[in-house]
Structures are given as structure tokens and as C-alpha cells.
Structure 1
Amino acid sequence: MSEDLKILPKTSWKVYLAVVFASIGGFLFGYDQGVMSGILVMPYWIHYFNDPDDVRRGFITSILLLGAFAGALFAGPLSERIGRKISIMVGTVIFWLGTSMQTGATSDGLLLAGRFIQGISVGIYSTNITVYQSELSPPHLRGRAVSLQQFSIVFGIMVAFWIGYGCAYIQSDASWRIPLGLQLAPSVLLFCGCFFLPYSPRWLCSRGRYDEALHTLARLHSNGDIDDPYVRQEYDEIMEQIKFEDEKAVKSYAELFRNRSIRKRVILGMGIQTMQQWIGINAVLYYAPFIFRSAGMTGTLPSLLATGVNGIVCVVCTIPAILFVDKWGRRNTLLAGGAGMGGSMLIAGSLLKVYPYVEGGDNNTSAQYGAVAMMFIFSASFSFSWGPIAWIYPAEIFPTRARAKGASLATASNYIFNFVIGQITPIMIENIAFGTYMFFFATNVICGLIVFFFYPETKNRSLEEMEILFGGDEADAIQTVAARKYDGANLEQTEKHQVADDGHSSIEKS
């Protein structure tokens, strides 16, 4: 038997608790997506805002994304200065302002301003929460932890769909004001809970708070034991990279593009977030009632009901990603999901081309409901693949000195193209109908090819070991620390200590 020793990764309920609670920010973003989808077809909202046309409706929906674009760019420098946790709290205060303005809106201007301000908070949330989750999680659970962000998003969408469906029966302006106002409750819970969440150990090290970082790692992974081998190895890897980064800190967004290794990662991070929009998911989520109407589900309540079912599909089908994405890997999961999405769009478009819905005409109900079923398959395919992984990949590939700004640029890319999709989708549905589905079939094929040829696999690597994968400047130093061995005396002592604390050893003889 070899004398080499390998430190096994840790699994701690404290890590799970922190990353689950932080994902409330994802719930808030998802809730807004879902609630606006329902509100857009509510009669009292339509009457109150003077029956907006497709272009105006698209802008009311999408202006939140312009705010999110600005918030994402602001989130990087903010996170580096005050930390991931405090940034989330700042985003929550901004969220309160934007939500209150929307709920009490008496004019287009107030509604638009509220959505833009709320969007700023969404950009801060989605940048910092995924970075926070990735920095707290051990490598073998990082995909699962960051997947919780996507699960929270789709869970928020589902909850909003059903609240919107119930409120559609209210015969007053409360039918749309109540769903908007309810967002405040989970945001207050997130703000208060942040007081009890730990700081990111990697951020603490980057600010020179080394002792606090070591004790935070120990509390998260070993019940406070700072001499635990896994804690020491994690701390040593972080410190090795921090020493290097003190000399080469990224002080601006422009500096991200001067280093070849980091530039490549910026392109990959921005690319995967951009592609997540061009595959068509938010076209389906934002305008699901209109898509279902185009397939023959006329009337406000039937289309909202179908939208609510779609929300359930998204939630259920995100669960496999949470459980297995660290086993399946990033690339294979993206390719499988893309195949499902592209195929469903192709079939739906073909059915609606041959059997288009004609109001009052002789319609093929089976074909049109088949197209609706394809939208459910599309959502299911997205939910276990592109949904979570587009958030996981940018959060894990950057070194500490560039992680906040790199993830910030990637997230900003998501929102600016989300805005574009929000603008063009209602026009496409209105004017080219089945062609909308064919367009997104083509984009899924293109995005699949890009992933196949350009995206490396990143599963089960520590955040510091990404330097080895991408050939970063400090790869050699990280490799040395990652390969550190422990002698037999350390093995025996650690096994006894771990059995006493945890009931099992976290060291395995290789």
C-alpha cells in the first residue's frame, strides 16, 4: 500500500445552511420573472396602464434587466470592498425601494423607475450570491451549492405563477398590486438572516484577515478545529494564491483582459451567460401566457394555468442537477440539455407551422397541445442543464483576485442579452409565430457546438486548482500545495482526532 495520503473533502451541514439561505436572493429574482409574466395579461393591470402594445409591454418587462446589468457591473467592485455578505445586504435595501415603487405605482414612470431600481438589486444578488456559494463550498459539492441558486430562481417563478393565478380572480387593482408587494417578505428574511451568515474565507484572506479566515473555515468544516488536515490544506491553498495575488491584484475591468489565462476565462464566463439567453428560456418564462395562447389556450386563466404548470416542471427538473451535476460534469450536462431544448423547439415550431391556431377556425387541437407539451420539455431540459451550470461555471473558474469582477462581467452579459430577448420576443411571437421556435432551435444548435469545442470540464476541482486547468501564472505553486502529503504520524493522529469529532476519518490512504 502506498504511503501517499489524500485529504478527503468535507461535507458540512453548516455549509449547506449558508448556501441555501443565501439563495433567497435567487428566489426574489425568479419571483419577479414569474409575477410579471402573469401580471402582463391581467385585465386590471392592462386597463390601469392603458393597454400597452407589444413594444411597451416588452420595455416594462425588460427595464428590470437594464437595472440588473448596471447592478452586476457595480457588484464586482462593491463585493471586493465590503465583502460578499454585506453586498447582499446592500442589494436587499435597494430591492425594498424598487419593490415599494412598483407596488404603489400610479403611473408608467413610477412603475418603470421601480423596476429599474429593483433590477440593480437583482444584479447585485446574482453576482455575489453565486460567488459566495462557490467560495464557501468544497470542490465536490460546489456544483450542487451553486445549483441551489437556479433552484431558488425557478422555485420563485413557480410561486409567483400560482400567486398570480390566484390573484387573477380579484376584481380590482389589488389583483396585480398584491403579487408585487408580497416580494418584500422574503427580502426582509434574507436581510435579517445575513447577520448570522459567515464571511467568505477567501474574501477575508484577500483583506488580510487571516486568523478570522482560518477560524471561519474551521467552523464550516471541522466544528472549529483549526488543526484539521482538510482545513489546513484549504487554508494553505488559499494563502498560496493570496500571496501571489497581492502583487497582481486586478484593480479594474480592463485588467481582466491583459492576462491571457484570465482573459480566456472572462470570455468563457461571459459566453456561457450570453448563450443562456439566446437558447430561449426567458422568452418562454416571460411570455409563456402569450406562447400558450398562440397554441390555442385562449383566455387569461387557461394560459396562466399552463404557465403555472410550466413553473412546476422547472422546479422538479432542477432537482436532478442539484443532486448529480458534480457527478455528471458541466460539459455533458450542457450538451444533453441543449439537445432536449433544440429538439423541443424544432417540433413545436413544425407543429404550429403545419397546424397554426386560428381563432374561430377549424383547429387541430392535438397538434397545438403537442406544441404546448414541447414547451414543458424545453423547460425541463433547461432546468437540469443550462439553468444551473450557466451560474456555476463563471463562479468557479476565476482566481480570487479576479473572481468578483469576472463573475460581474459574466452576469452583466446575461442581463444585457436578457433585455434584448425581452424586447424582441413579443414582436417575434406576433409577427413570425412558428419562426420564433425555429430561431431558438438554431441558437441551441450553435450554442451546443460552442460548448463542445471550447469549454473544458471543471468538476471536482478546488477554486485554486482552476489555475492548473487554465494555465494560470500561479499554477505551479498551487500544484505544490494541492499535492502536499502527510506522513504516517500525522495520519494516525488525525484519524484518532476525526473519529472522536465526526465519527469517521476524513483521510483516505491512496
Structure 2
Amino acid sequence: MGFSYAAFGCVAAAALSALSLGLDVGMISSTLVQPSFIAYFNEPSPAQIGGIVSAFSAGATVGAFGCAFIADRFGRIQGFFTGAIVVVLGCALQAGAVNVGMLIAGRLITGLGAGQLTAVLPVYASELAPASIRGALGGLQMVGIETAIFLATAIGYAFGTHYTGDIQWRAPLALQMLPVLLLVAVTFFLPESPRWLVQRGREEQAIKVLNRLHRSQGADFVQAEFLEIKAQLDAEKHHEEPSWKEIWTRKSYRKRIFLSCLLQWLAQLTGINCIQYYASTIFSLLGFSTTTSLALNLLYGAFGLLFTLFWVGIIDRLGRRPALIFSSLLAGAALLIQAVLSQVYLTKDVVPVNGLRAQVAMFYIFNLGFVCVGMLAWLIPAEMMPYNIRAKGTSISVANNNIAGIVVAQVSPIALSAISFKFFYVFVAADIVAAVCYFFLFPETSRLTLEQMNQVFGDMEIEPKVKGTEVWIDSVENKSMA
């Protein structure tokens, strides 16, 4: 099974939606240390800062369910379109904020849209991608996030070092809306998910989309892909689409949702929201100036993007479980070393240069571990879910990601202020627990079709045989090529 450039292009374009999350992470991290921001809002307390940061995750928790209500009813593309419009409105409010309340409201609304976008993207990517490259295509969400973090930290550094006054933070917050406006335009050209089209009875359109996505694979591949999708969805028609309550009554559904939510909590408890949202603040705690902290934050974003591209290149060969176990232990080891070094060096009046370098290096090594966990936290829940609960299940998963993010974002500034880097020992313990959970609880889902995934979770796998469909498919393919 070869590489589908068309599918890659469509998912890459849709990955503009992931920029909404990455830009927020990078922008707010830089914004919190800008002198003009601190002065304008009268030196906000750690609790206020926690509220400002976590408002985005609170909105995203609610917005994630837009994937189920909008993307299921009106299509995946409408999920992108409406989510993007909401993000634009929220960014405008943030940039024009005149008090903390207005800033929090803007971040809450931005989170609503971003939560929907980040829930729709893994569903869309998993439904367009062939099994052999689903990890790479699903990983484009993390590429989008890390690209946006890098761009945001670069913008924050540029405005922090070359401008003074409110423009230092207002302009970066306003610039968040540009890629999302581009996404609005792109939605008019993206194909709808073929699985959604088949489920809605629009089979001729589904064949045309599959042919567009996989023409290089040949007619036999397109036919087999369609037959497998149709057979599985036809089998699921014997059961009505489960309600929110009913998805908890079937054992295999409960297991998928439990593992998806557990994965999101374990990913957040690596410490990522603490490190990424407060990176510039953390570098300031190490004794660096505002300018140097912004520069180190920029470098952190650059390495994050490179690390993500590395993991995208090997994730389908490595497998999901080995990658999760290794990367969690790597992230935990890096934070453990950093916490120990901080206790050794920060008690001294003068910290050796090599001591500071080692502590900064540990944050970058932590990021190498996290980006793999983060990428799989978006990919695995969507690929584990059967079609009839994919949007609902992914919504629940993303909502849990954001709930966990709220907890970490709210607690982190208070904990860092009170006990400094000793707080990292909590994340070290969580990373060890995560590795154990991945080993004993999580099945390997790499390189399985979405329909074959049912067998892993104890459901019957449907044989892709639909009588009389082959001739009709050939006819549709010929029309689409004409």
C-alpha cells in the first residue's frame, strides 16, 4: 500500500486547524512575561495568570463536543468552518481586551472554537488516511501545533525585543487569527470524509472522493476501500446510532472511551501545559532576563517542530505502544534531572554557566519525549473509535484533554511560585505511571484499518463484500476521471 499524496495534501491543509491550539500556547507563553502586559494588567497574581491561561482550556472542553453535534450532523468540513469562525471572534476580543475579564472572555471563546477544531481534525485525518500511513497523517496535527508554537514564540520574541507599549502583546494576540482565516477559505476546497458520505447515503460522492485521494493506488484499491467502508457501515445500521447515554452500555465502547480519556490525562500529566504555557516564566525563574527567556522559548519551539517531524517519520514503523512507553520515560527522566539540578544550583548565589545550560537542555529533551505522546494522544482515540461513535468518542477524549489541561494550567503558576521546580517531581511520578499503563492496558493499533480495529476490541470484523457493487464503482470511477 503506497503513499497517498492527495490524502496527505488534504490532511495537511486541514491541519491549519491545529495552529489555533499551537498559536495560543506560544503566544500566551510569550505574552505573560512582556513588561507592557504585566504593567497594563497591574502585575496579575499567580491565581489570575492561572485563570487567564486555563480559560482557553475551559472553552476548549465545551467546544470539543461541537465535533459530535456539528461534524456528525453537517459533515467534517462544516466542523472546520464553524470552529474557525469562533476562533477569529475570540482572537479579536483578546487583542482588544481592556481588562482581565475581557481577556479571559476572549480566551474562553477562542478555546470554544479551537476545541471543536482539534476534535474534528483527528477524526477527519483518520477517515481519509490509509492504514499504512495513518500515523504519519494523524501526526500532521502535532506538526501543525508545533509549527504554530514556533511561529508564536518567534512573533513574541520579535515584538518583545523591537517594540514597546501595548503593541508588544496586542499584535501577537491579533495575529493568531490569520491562519484560521486561511482555514476558512481552504474549507471550500477540501473533500468531505468518504465515511461520512457513505453513512449519509451519498455513495457516488464517496467513490469520487476515494478516487481523488487514492487514484495512484489503482482502481482495485479504491474498490476495496469503498467495499470495506460500506460493509462496516451497513453492519452498523442494524444498530441505531447510540445516544450519549447508550455509548456507555456496550463493553467495547466503554473500553475505547476509557483508554482514550486515560491517554489524554496521562499526556497532560507529563507536565506539558506547565512547561509550554509557562516556558518563558520558567526560564525567568532560572535567572534569565526577559529577552533571553523569550529567545530560549523561541529555541524551545524550534526544537519542538524538529522533534515532531522526526516522530512523524518513524511512528508507523515503530508502533504506538513502544513509542508511548519510551517517550514517557524520556520525558520523566528529563524532568527528574532538571528538578535535581535546580535543587543543587538554585540555592547558590552564583549558578555556573554549565549548570544553567544543563537545566535548559533538560527542557528540550523533555520536549523530545512529549511531542510523541502529544501526537499519539490526538491520533489514537480517533483511530480506536468505530464510525458510529467516532465523533462522540473523540469529543469526550478531547474534552478530557482540556479538563486535565485546566487543572495543570491553573495549579502550575501557584505551585511554581510556592515550591519552584520541586513541583516537577509530580510529573516525574506521573510519567512512570503512564509508561506502566501503556504497557499493560493499551493494545497496538498501528497499521490496522479503522474497520479492523473492531476485532482488537472484541467486535466482529466485517468482510468487505457487497454484492453487485463492483460494476457500479467502476462506472463512478470512469465518470470522475472523465
TM-score by length of 2: 0.94
| Structure 1 counterpart of 2:234, from 239, 243, 258 | 243
Q: CA deviation at 1:366?
A: 2.4
Superposed counterparts of 1:366-405, under 5 Å = 366-383=354-371, 385-405=372-392
The answer for the alignment partner of 2:300 in structure 1 is: 310
| Structure 2 counterpart of 1:46, from 38, 44, 49 | 38
Aligned residues: 471
Q: CA deviation at 1:434?
A: 2.7
The separation in 1 between residues aligned to 2:247 and 2:36, in whole angstroms, is 48
The answer for the alignment partner of 2:273 in structure 1 is: 282
| Structure 2 counterpart of 1:182, from 157, 175, 180 | 175
For the pair 1:463 / 2:450, whether they are aligned, the reply is yes
The answer for the alignment partner of 2:154 in structure 1 is: 162
Paired residue type of 2:249: R
The separation in 1 between residues aligned to 2:337 and 2:30, in whole angstroms, is 26
Paired residue type of 1:366: N
The separation in 2 between residues aligned to 1:155 and 1:224, in whole angstroms, is 30
The answer for the alignment partner of 1:507 in structure 2 is: none
The answer for the alignment partner of 1:481 in structure 2 is: 464
Paired residues of 1:218 and 1:224 also in contact (CA < 8 A): no
Paired residues of 2:229 and 2:464 also in contact (CA < 8 A): no
Name the SS of the counterpart of 1:250 in structure 2. Answer: coil
Cα deviation code 1:218-251 (max 9, x no counterpart)? 12111697xx111111111111111122232334
| Structure 1 counterpart of 2:351, from 355, 363, 372 | 363
Q: CA deviation at 1:282?
A: 1.5
The answer for the alignment partner of 1:35 in structure 2 is: 27
Name the SS of the counterpart of 1:247 in structure 2. Answer: coil
| Structure 2 counterpart of 1:15, from 7, 17, 20 | 7
Paired residues of 2:70 and 2:78 also in contact (CA < 8 A): no
Q: CA deviation at 1:215?
A: 1.6
The separation in 2 between residues aligned to 1:235 and 1:273, in whole angstroms, is 32
Paired residue type of 2:172: P
Paired residues of 1:274 and 1:417 also in contact (CA < 8 A): yes
Paired residue type of 1:17: G
Q: CA deviation at 1:156?
A: 0.3
Percent identity, please. 35
Superposed counterparts of 1:27-426, under 5 Å = 27-169=19-161, 170-222=163-215, 228-297=219-288, 299-356=289-346, 361-383=349-371, 385-426=372-413
Name the SS of the counterpart of 1:51 in structure 2. Answer: coil
Structure 1 stretches lacking a partner, 5+ long: 1-8, 485-489, 502-510
Cα deviation code 1:112-135 (max 9, x no counterpart)? 111101000111100001100110
Paired residue type of 1:197: L
The separation in 2 between residues aligned to 1:211 and 1:357, in whole angstroms, is 69
The separation in 2 between residues aligned to 1:27 and 1:183, in whole angstroms, is 8
The separation in 1 between residues aligned to 2:419 and 2:18, in whole angstroms, is 33
Paired residues of 1:394 and 1:406 also in contact (CA < 8 A): yes
The change in CA–CA distance for 1:265 and 1:466 in structure 2 (over 3 A counts) is: same
Q: CA deviation at 1:368?
A: 3.1
Paired residues of 1:10 and 1:221 also in contact (CA < 8 A): no
Name the SS of the counterpart of 1:456 in structure 2. Answer: coil
Greater mean alpha carbon deviation, residues 236-245 or residues 114-123: 236-245
The separation in 2 between residues aligned to 1:128 and 1:85, in whole angstroms, is 9
Q: CA deviation at 1:357?
A: 5.2
Paired residue type of 1:230: F
Cα deviation code 1:128-177 (max 9, x no counterpart)? 01100110000001000010100110110011001001101311101111
The separation in 1 between residues aligned to 2:344 and 2:169, in whole angstroms, is 37
Q: CA deviation at 1:10?
A: 4.3
Paired residue type of 1:191: V
Name the SS of the counterpart of 1:19 in structure 2. Answer: helix
The separation in 2 between residues aligned to 1:42 and 1:290, in whole angstroms, is 10
Larger radius of gyration: 1
Q: CA deviation at 1:470?
A: 1.0
Q: CA deviation at 1:54?
A: 0.5
Cα deviation code 1:272-312 (max 9, x no counterpart)? 11111011111100011122122232x21111111111111
The separation in 1 between residues aligned to 2:263 and 2:156, in whole angstroms, is 31
Name the SS of the counterpart of 1:215 in structure 2. Answer: helix
The separation in 2 between residues aligned to 1:357 and 1:171, in whole angstroms, is 34
Superposed counterparts of 1:433-444, under 5 Å = 433-444=420-431
Paired residues of 1:296 and 1:357 also in contact (CA < 8 A): no
Q: CA deviation at 1:338?
A: 1.1
Cα deviation code 1:24-65 (max 9, x no counterpart)? 111121011100000001111111111101010111011010
Name the SS of the counterpart of 1:222 in structure 2. Answer: helix
Paired residue type of 2:454: E
Structure 2 stretches lacking a partner, 5+ long: none
The answer for the alignment partner of 2:434 in structure 1 is: 447
Paired residues of 1:357 and 1:368 also in contact (CA < 8 A): no
